């Protein structure tokens, strides 16, 4: 728990749109003496759709800033993706936040030991929708052990080619999955990759969960046109 505060900030408008209830108006009426029951509000909101909030990060405008996230505030805004399908809602949210997800090409993967099993399953799913996998030696070994075809490249700190930076500059890499580790060499490699990814505008994920969400979005969007959703129709409000 980082903090607990009573501010509504950006959460109230997001939840209001997600559930179709104007919470600020409801709260105002409560302060004026009108109960929730009198306003016809009771029980839980029942939804048949997904609403995804994605943060907008200005890393391209901030030279030298590491794009890895921590407790400090780095976002400058948020967007909502909403749809009856989770993959579509995720695609909309990421697209709205300025992340151009690929639907094919090479994916570079380099993860800590703890994430290798999950990364292998993720790689399998990505191959299933037409991607090819590039990985560093340790990650590539785990992939091959799981029966996943993979191309091995050197780590940046090994000072040999091809490495992550060279294949990125060649334009081959369309997405990067890199979970940070504690060793100084891996931290330095990760920083260099993240900065280059920002400059080349390559989607970059530093958690397995984030990458899994992206894959769900890609799987849904591949070969389809994602249509906007009318909020009034979604909540049957005419």
CATH of residue 143's domain is 3.40.50.1380
15-25: per-residue pLDDT in tens? 888 998 998 89
Reported confidence tier of residue 11, pLDDT bands at 50, 70, 90: confident
Residue with tokens 């990125």: 168
Q: Judging by beta carbons within 10 Å of its beta carbon (0-12, 13-18, 19+), is residue 182 exposed, middle or buried?
A: exposed
Q: Which among 78, 111, 83 has a CA at the least distance from the CA of 217?
A: 83
Is pLDDT of 238 > 50?
A: no
Pair (29, 127) in one structural domain: no
Give me the number of domains the chain comprises.
2
Please indicate, yes or no, whether residues 110 and 190 belong to a single structural domain of this protein: yes
Q: Report if residue 235 sits inside a domain.
A: no
Residue 115 shares a structural domain with residue 201: yes
Question: Are both 118 and 195 inside the same structural domain?
Answer: yes
Burial annotation 142-154 (CB, 10 A radius, 16+ → b, else e): bbeeeebebebbb
Query: Does the residue 165 lie in any domain?
Result: yes
74 part of a folded domain: no
pLDDT in tens, 195-233: 888 888 899 998 999 999 999 999 998 878 888 888 888
Assess whether 108 and 29 both reside in one domain: no
User: DSSP H helical segments within 69-183, as ranges?
Assistant: 86-96, 116-128, 137-145, 164-169
- Tell me the pLDDT of the chain averaged across its residues: 85
The domain of 154 spans 100-221
Q: Does residue 65 have a pLDDT over 80?
A: no
- Which of 236, 122, 129 is closest to 178 using CA atoms? 122
């Amino acid at each position: 728990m980082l903090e607990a505060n009573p501010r509504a900030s950006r959460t109230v408008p997001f939840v209001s749109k997600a559930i179709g209830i104007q919470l600020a108006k409801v709260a105002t009426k409560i302060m004026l003496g009108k109960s929730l029951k009198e306003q016809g509000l009771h029980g839980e909101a029942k939804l048949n759709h997904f609403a995804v909030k994605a943060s907008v990060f200005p890393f391209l405008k901030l030279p030298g800033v590491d794009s890895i996230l921590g407790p400090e505030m780095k976002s400058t805004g948020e967007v909502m993706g909403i749809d009856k399908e989770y993959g579509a809602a995720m695609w909309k949210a990421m697209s709205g936040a300025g992340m151009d997800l690929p639907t094919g090409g090479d994916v570079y993967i380099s993860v800590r030991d703890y994430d290798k099993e999950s990364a292998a399953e993720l790689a399998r799913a990505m191959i299933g929708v037409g991607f090819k996998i590039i990985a560093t030696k340790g990650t590539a070994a785990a992939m091959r052990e799981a029966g996943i075809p993979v191309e091995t490249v050197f780590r940046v700190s090994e000072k040999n080619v091809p490495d992550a930076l060279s294949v990125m500059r060649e334009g081959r890499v369309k997405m990067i999955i890199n979970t940070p580790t504690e060793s100084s060499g891996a931290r330095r490699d990760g920083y260099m990759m993240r900065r280059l990814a920002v400059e080349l505008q390559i989607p970059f994920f530093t958690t397995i969960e984030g990458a899994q969400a992206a894959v769900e979005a890609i799987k849904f969007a591949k070969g389809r046109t994602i249509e906007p959703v009318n909020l009034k129709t979604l909540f049957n409000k005419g």
